Structure 1
Amino acid sequence: MTDSLAPFVDVVRSRRSARRFLPDPMSSQEIWSVLEDAQTAPSNSNTQPWAVHVVSGELRDALRDELLRAYDDGRESPDFTADYGNGVHLQRSRDHGAALYQSWGVARSDVEGRREVVRENLRFYGAPHVAFLFMPALGDGVRTAGDIGMYAQTFLLSLTARGFHGIPQTVLGMYADTVRNTLGISDDLKLLFGISFGHADPSAPVNDLRMHRLPLGDSVVVHGCS
């Protein structure tokens, strides 16, 4: 952990998703500091709808094993769909997948190799900690999910500012029942995704992967500003 927090711009532009972690755990105080930062995230009408479960140690290992069994048994139980349509968003997702598998050295034709990459997701990429972000069923859920997105980004930026790394993982949300059953969580809470976090492994080539970002002009229109 750094002695002083990095400037905001450096934090935002240096944040990246790590896909290989060291086993060394963060201290309770370090985790609590990140959670306190995340708790300052904005939300609609200050509803603060996030319900966050942080899992470490033996329970983390037990949950990992349950997730792997659910994957091998084909027992997906998502609370939300993952549909990218048929246009540019689907293509971006495919480009992301191609870059990711290439970074792992897995060919498109290597079916078992691709399955092993999914298993690495479910092993939390070796991270000693994982935070599961649940939400209550309020209306159509869009505003609530947006609130949790702001919470998650604050969480991730806090990790970066403090010298740690995290990765948001949609795939963990594909096994919502497994997570709820293992952690004893009510069905009233819906699992959006998880964030594995800790110390990134600096020697892992996969952590050198940098995902492409669109030019601003592809997604932003500025009105009334010279």
Structure 2
Amino acid sequence: MSELLFRDVVRNRHSVRSFLPDPVPADVLREVLQDAQLAPSNCNTQPWQVHIVSGEKRDALSKAILADDEAGRYKLDFSFDLADFDGVYRQRARDQGAAYYQAIGIAREAKEERQTATRLNLSFFGAPHVALLFMPEVGDNVRVAGDLGMYAQTFLLALTAHGLGGIPQTMLGMYADTIREVLDIDPSSKMPFGISFGYPDMNHAANTYRIGKAAIEESVTFHG
């Protein structure tokens, strides 16, 4: 694979919502993880605890999460509700959702079809692997969560650079207890989100659209 420029990697990265079943070779996955390990963190604490789930264990985990979802059993380590977002932030979320459902041909009023599409999160959108990101609780958790975010972004960019794709999924964090139980993870490790990843199925409608980003003037203020 020819080496990509950094700007190409950044601009080609997008959230992948349909994957080919082919597993990522172990040597390629290790290179991605080595790249991600170089992410910055407060005082070089490197607080991320990453669990890569594949194969039969991945299938068992998805089955357990789907069962808990069906039964209405879920518990978040960290709160998340789109209703808490206001103004432009909520509008951006709505725009993203509308673009996705339009791309896969699901009408706004088709509630059952939308629910089915949402539950694809819990089967990892067909990805052969999922990276579950855990962290220790430290203070108010903001600094550690920021470190975890920098790790995740580096991981996502490394995936793109290796011809792979991924999608960060807050929804997986809603089943943190289930995931800890299935994978025998210490309850003191907290999980904000996971990242499903693999080779993108670029023929799937879910991967044919791109959502726009705000102009830098909306996010950046220059002083001096």
Pairwise CA distance, 1:5: 2.6
Letter in 1 for 2:96: H
Residue 80 of structure 1 corresponds to: 78
Query: Given the two structures, how large is their TM-score scaled by the length of structure 1?
Result: 0.95
Within 5 A, what are the aligned runs for 1:33-182? 33-83=31-81, 84-182=84-182
Pairwise CA distance, 1:87: 2.2
Letter in 1 for 2:36: A
Pairwise CA distance, 1:101: 1.6
Residue 28 of structure 2 corresponds to: 30
Inter-partner Cα distance in structure 1 for 2:37 and 2:202: 29
Deviation by residue 1:177-196 (Cα, 9 ceiling, x = unmatched) = 11111100111011111101
Inter-partner Cα distance in structure 1 for 2:3 and 2:130: 23
Letter in 2 for 1:146: G
Within 5 A, what are the aligned runs for 1:198-209? 198-209=198-209
Deviation by residue 1:153-203 (Cα, 9 ceiling, x = unmatched) = 000000111111111111111111111111001110111111011100121
Indicate the larger mover: 91-100 or 16-25.
Answer: 91-100
Give structure 1 regions of 4+ aligned residues with deviation exceeding 4 angstroms.
Answer: none
RMSD: 1.0
Residue 6 of structure 1 corresponds to: 4
Deviation by residue 1:77-129 (Cα, 9 ceiling, x = unmatched) = 11111144332212221221122222221112111111111111111110000
Structure 2 unaligned blocks of 5 or more: none
Letter in 1 for 2:79: T
Inter-partner Cα distance in structure 2 for 1:172 and 1:15: 21
Matched-pair identity in %: 55
Other structure's SS at 1:133 match: strand
Query: Given the two structures, how large is their TM-score scaled by the length of structure 2?
Result: 0.96
Letter in 2 for 1:25: P
Other structure's SS at 2:190 match: strand
